[in-house]
Structure 1
Amino acid sequence: MERFDLSIANVTGALPEGARKEQGISLAIGFFDGVHLGHQEVVRQAVALAREQGLVPAVMTFDPHPRVVLGHGSQYQTVLTPLADKLSLLSKLGVEAAYVIQFERSFSEVTAEEFVKTLINPLGVKATTVGFDFSFGHRGEGNADTLRLHGNGEIQVQVVSPVFLEDDKVSSTRIRDRLAEGESLEASALLGRPYVIKGLVVHGDARGRLLGYPTANLLPEQPYVIPRSGVYAIYIDLLSDSGEFESRYNGVLNVGYRPTFDAPGGALRLEAHLFDFGGDLYGRQLALTFHTFLRAEKKFDSIEQLVAQISLDAAQAKEIVSVQR
């Protein structure tokens, strides 16, 4: 197998303008799927250490998830936070430099010692901050102690304890489980922010308009984790072509397969109805912010029953998002 080239040139990222390599780096290392409360604590401690010691606060992350490349985690083919959003969130936490390693199968063969001596050390890393369950190198052979060992005493290593919420550890797996159960509010609490899916409005069959509730059919821009099928109270942000926020609307969202109209085995759809909006959304970028799960998706015996239920869903969603916004 071809060896992964660990040269700095093959790692995306650079020091911010005005920073010098000899200044040194305080580096948080991890995949940071979701940038949840636990990840935020790791990054905050790395940034705090940087401020104390006059270092550049930085992160090292990987893309895609190592388990996907190695075939060990099909669930990680979906993401809580796409790379661009991940880097934006990390920047808001005070990170000034981000090093992204494009994870390839050959990279999994790199030993822990090679990782430290040919990648970490040349970057000018003076301190690292990692989570309590951090591992790296071939077959996960490295840990915080290994990092200290191969850093030859020149790299400070601090390990962050797990963060707990309601007596249970915050983790990406827990967030994914909550979303799969429709527990969007608990998932948001674990993330430290609402769960968001971004995408492009594409043409559907205009059935919602015929029912009196026109919907925007969203095609997610990335392979997001899709929450449980059903109806949600949501916020909808209209974005510019460059992804910048323009305006926000309250709304209701159906996630599912439309069993009243479509045969089993159809495509999953995300159909959002915006309250108090009458414009054309085709081709627009939207961000759907999940608030509250209202009910499970179900098949109705008639169109009249479906329209009556949609009316109830919309009324409930309006009450929730207007009061709890």
Structure 2
Amino acid sequence: MLTTARETSGSRTVTRSRPAIRRRTHPMWFMAPAFAILLLFFFLPTLFNFIYAFTDWSGFKAEIRAVGLENFTDLAANGTLFRSLRVTVVYAVLVAIFQNAFGFGLAVLLERDTRLNRVARVFFLIPVLMSALAVGYIFQALLKPTGSVNQLLGLVLGTTVDYAWLGDTTWTIVVVALIHAWKWMGLSMLIYLAGLKTIPEDIIEAARIDGASRWRTFWTVRFPLLAPAITFNVATALLGSMNGFDVAQATTGGGPARTTEILNIFIYRTFGQGLFAQATTMSLVLFLLVALMAFPVIYVLRKREEVL
């Protein structure tokens, strides 16, 4: 294919032919390997998870047959399903609250670009880079009745302290949620810092000219403009904690008395016992829980962004 180009010189027009450049490739082809990996390791396992949840697949027999909703009714009848769901929801809400509170507080404290603040930001980001299992085992050692936390409290109080921080059926889930939030609060801090840094200075200056105090300027001007950062941090905290496993498994293993047995720990134990159909049923329930809990929260927060 040829195209023509016209050049005008004085009263004379010269027409020249030049070959057209034909695009022989399409940018979508470069995404084919990524789509193939996504299909093989995500979509197909998710599809089979939906299928096997309605069968009697187990490690004790070779034949697999369909059983309908029998797995769901059995789990609901013995209370296992609702107990794990309740623990998972409580754990996710606690982690979202603690992680965002810690991250937001650190972002406000370390907002100024001083040398000390830069060093402190790096230190608070270190737990994010650490293995979650390592964090769990470290805190398990620290919170033992003979661990360093009780020894430090004993030195401060002048008496012997042997409290079992991970052995209380009421407060252990709060402790584990605090550990999970501590591990990821550096990421929340980073997102809130980015939000604070992108607020235009002229808006803040206008509020000060109008007579607003520093405290009022922060809560009525700057804080509402952090809505996108809040949406991201709350969504990631909820999704991460509902799919959590490593911190709770390393610290308590689901105890005491299954008070910290979140859904993924129960799935792990059930699958290890050879009850594959029950485990896939619970993972399907977890998928539905994440969808029903996280997406409405994200929708509400996004609508709040539009209002602000």
- Common fold by TM > 0.5: no
Of structures 1 and 2, the one with the larger relative CO (CA 8 A, separation 6+) is 2
TM-score (norm 2): 0.18
State the structure with more CA Rg: 2
Give the helix-richer structure, 1 or 2: 2
TM-score (norm 1): 0.18
Give the strand-richer structure, 1 or 2: 1
